[in-house]
Amino acid sequence: MKMPEGFLWGGATAANQCEGAYNEDGRGLSSVDVVPFGPDRGPVARGELKMLACDSRRIYPSHRAIDLYHHYKEDIALFAEMGFKCYRMSVAWTRIFPHGDDAEPNAAGIAFYRSVFEECRKYGIEPLVTICHFDTPIALIQKYGGWKDRRMVDAFVRYCRVLFEAYGSLVRYWLTFNEINMLLHMPFMGAGIVFEPGEDREQVKYQAAHHELLASARAVRLAHQMMPGSMVGCMLAAGQFYPYTCAPQDVYLAMERDRDNYFFIDVQANGEYPLWARKRMERAGIALQTEPEDAQTLREGTVDFVSFSYYSSRCASADPEIAARHARGNAVVSSVVNPYLKASEWGWQIDPLGLRLTLNVLYDRYRKPLFIVENGMGATDTVEADGSIHDPYRIDYMREHIRAMRDAVNLDGVPLLGYTCWGPIDIVSASTGEMKKRYGMIYVDLDNDGAGTMARSRKDSFYWYQKVIATNGEDLG
């Protein structure tokens, strides 16, 4: 059993986790640049601790990252060696507009990404480009308060127009916002939100969500006008909530948690707010500030496909005592430990069947093509004396998830455009800021403190994934 002809195999990264060169060639500062490594990372990412500039006393591994900015030709050649058909990457908004809304785009930034896309095309690799991946320009946070302010919509659409004009002939597949539902869990990383004393946090988050949803819809509409034949998708941090027991209260709570998770995609795929969301906001006293044209904008800007990340399923219990048993790996989205699942060393519970379930649920819900744009396992890798890196745990994780994906397509009939694992090369972790937590099939000699040669080397999983792609998913041995 294999995947359909033309299936897009590949890998995924984000500019802020791999490029480095955070202040080179005119690039401006973005939200993720000021989120430090260490105990304050969570409070800053959640918008609870205000930090709009870098502090010389703190560590920011993403500033240098793996220096893809200067290594992209070498790295793309390695992706091509693995057989990639697709490379998901993001454009750093502040590399194009250093302040987010400059009078003119940064020529060096435009040239850099053009060169990256051309390098991909040289090897027959299709770029899949995320327009905004946790990188709201700091200047716009200072000017507007980030996505709290409706003026962010026009700034974003202008940024999109520049991208579409510059790269429309090189890029067919686009994503508007990375893991858009993370706005509710990490408001600063997701939307540049810093909460002020006395603010109604739920009101602020959902107002910002409305602005991002409008921006996404306008971007989709603009892409279709400027680039006929382009495909624009949304992107969700996915993972079904299982009820901890068959008690009706647990089942209902799991449904509510899933609804919360799908809220953004309901709007992006269906073009309107679901009734349950309207009712819930009404009960919570959340009153969105809207304009008369907003409903039409959302209707006319629905996405062409639904993409998502999947690392683990989640679990919900209405029993406060059980709910306190928090799964360590799901620190961003609260989840109860599922006693039927094993976990990675970072506490992420491993559930391949949950991926098949998620694929079926998403297609049943939206009836649009799907795209798995993140899936992988963070682990500590050991370099042997001869330089080899044996990572059977990563191969096992990917094998079982690809098998589940293959079953969803071939046995269940789910239309799936592609699979880009996270990440094909070791990069800085978004959740923890570590290099030690490695996802890649390509090892990068770099530690949490930034020490190392930056040399790239192939892990066992590199050759395994190469074989998987060469056989279009048939050989998972």
474 is catalytic: no
Question: Pick the catalytic residue: 119, 293, 374, 384?
Answer: 374
DSSP string, 98-121: TTSS-SS--HHHHHHHHHHHHHHH
C-alpha distance across the termini of the chain, in Å: 13
Q: Which of 426, 298, 427, 310 is nearest to 371 (CA)?
A: 310
Non-local CB neighbours of 455 within 8 Å, separated by 6+ positions: 444, 445
Six-digit token pair at 371? 């795209």
Mapped to the 3 state alphabet, what secondary structure does 240-276 carry? Answer: CEEECCCCHHHHHHHHHHHHHHHHHHHHHHHCCCCHH
How many Cα neighbours within 13 Å face the side chain of 275?
0
CB contact burial 206-240 (16+ within 10 A = b; e otherwise)? bbbbbbbbbbbbbbbbbbbeebeebbbbbbbbbbb
Sign of CA dihedral 142, 147, 151, 156: positive
Question: Residue 281 burial by CB count (10 A; 0-12/13-18/19+): exposed, middle or buried?
Answer: middle
Angle of helix 248-270 relative to helix 352-366, nearest 10 degrees, comes to 60
* 327-331, Cβ contacts within 8 angstroms, sequence gap of 24 or more: 331/42, 331/431
SS3 326: strand
Residue at token pair 């993370």 = 182
Q: Contact, 374 vs 310, CB < 8 A?
A: yes
Catalytic residue numbers, as ranges: 374
